[in-house]
Amino acid sequence: MHQNYSVMKLSITILFMCISINVSAQLTFDTSKPIDTLIQDFVGIGVTVSNVTFTGGNLSIGSFNGSSSIGSSQGIVFTTGRIDSLIATPAATFLSTSCNLSGDQDLNAIVGSGLTYDAAVLEFDFVATNNTFLFDYVFASEEYNEFAGSAFNDVFAFFISGPGISGKQNIALLPSTSIPVSINNVNNGATGSGPCVNCSYYHDNYNDTTLAFDGFTTPLTATYSIVPGLTYHLKLAVADVADGIFDTGVFLQKYSLRSVSTTSIAETKPQLMEMYFRDDALYVDSKSSVFHVAVYNITGQSVFEAQSNHGLELFEMNIPSGVYAVVLETPETIVNRKIVKQ
């Protein structure tokens, strides 16, 4: 249990199990859709998804629709509790559900000390048609404001993995930074009146009448550069920290998972590097004395990897004819290219 909770909610404190309760509200929720159908409320242009799974409470994920203060009227929401109409009650309502579920190992690693509980994890593979993918989201929590800066820093992350990516990278970051979005990294203090911690991205929702979460972020965008046509894996995960109460969730804007074309360094400055197949060898001139190169087939499987300290190399490789993605990494940049081997 949380200790030293000095500011209590106005309503009676009740811990709910993962059962459904219908309440009339401005927001409506649907938990009946199979996960393969539900994901289509998230997928937009230029992206194809497959192998969709969800791990969490039986009412911890679904679609939402209607008017509220989060800045998005439709999409998918998943939480450490349940997403039925209790969420759409006034902020004075105590939003806390214990599903008696375990946490997540990847989120445990982020927390460092303490364990996670009631993890809700949405995972899928995806293929994009352009070199950048992105989606829009809002992170919300009942831990705001009272537990900002405390050990009860409910955690979430968006992990991407696949060709050219080392391990799993968290892309739930504040704009133009490497700072993960979290309660302790985005808040306006334990009373809502400071000190400000990136509070330009924070909405204090304590007196709202449309959404029970006491606080949430402004709409944010997760984005990453990828190789078009290759298969990547995305894991969207949220969990309670140190206990299984005080719900936390993520709203994903409808149709916002999309792929766009952006101008990369390699496109604007082609003189920086050259890469092409010459018979059974890959020719690389990185214009940098040190580089790492990796080659992937169209399914995303690694077929070659090497490090060079010379800047210019001819790598012999016995691979079939076809289209390959080549990822060249130097101290200055990362370049992704599709190259045809005849």
Arithmetic mean of pLDDT over the chain: 78
- Span 271-287, average pLDDT: 76
Q: What is the pLDDT of residue 271?
A: 43
> Cβ–Cβ contacts within 10 Å for residue 301, how many?
11
User: What is the per-residue pLDDT across 4-63, written as a single tens digit (0 to 9) for each?
Assistant: 433 333 332 333 344 333 333 477 889 999 999 999 999 988 899 999 999 888 888 999
Q: Residues 313-340, buried b or exposed e (16+ Cβ, 10 A)? A: bebeeeeeeeebbbbbbbeebebbbeee
What DSSP element (H or E) covers 108? Answer: helix 105-111
Q: Name the region of 314 (left: φ>0; alpha: ψ -120 to 50; beta: rest).
A: beta
For residue 262, the model assigns a pLDDT of: 59
Please give the pLDDT value at position 13: 31
pLDDT tens by residue, 175-220:
889 888 888 888 888 888 889 989 999 888 888 877 878 888 999 9
Closest CA to 219 of 45, 63, 41, 72: 72
User: Over the stretch 94-113, which tens digit does the pLDDT of each residue have?
Assistant: 555 666 676 777 877 777 66
121 vs 190, which has greater pLDDT? 121
pTM above 0.75, yes or no: no
**Angstrom distance (rounded) from CA 266 to CA 317:** 24
pLDDT tens-digit map of 233-252? 999 998 877 654 678 889 99
Q: What average pLDDT does the segment 281-305 reach?
A: 82
The residue written with tokens 């352009």 in the block is: 130
pLDDT-based confidence at residue 123 (cuts at 50, 70, 90):
very high
Q: What is the DSSP letter of 146?
A: T
Report the pLDDT value the prediction gives residue 17, as an integer from 0 to 100: 44
Compute CA distances 278 → 176, 203, 262, 290, 321, whole Å.
Answer: 39, 56, 28, 21, 12
Could you tell me which residues come within 8 angstroms of residue 218 by beta carbon, excluding any fewer than 6 positions away? Answer: 71, 138, 200, 201, 202, 203
Between 232 and 335, the higher pLDDT residue = 232
Confidence of residue 339 (pLDDT cuts 50, 70, 90): confident
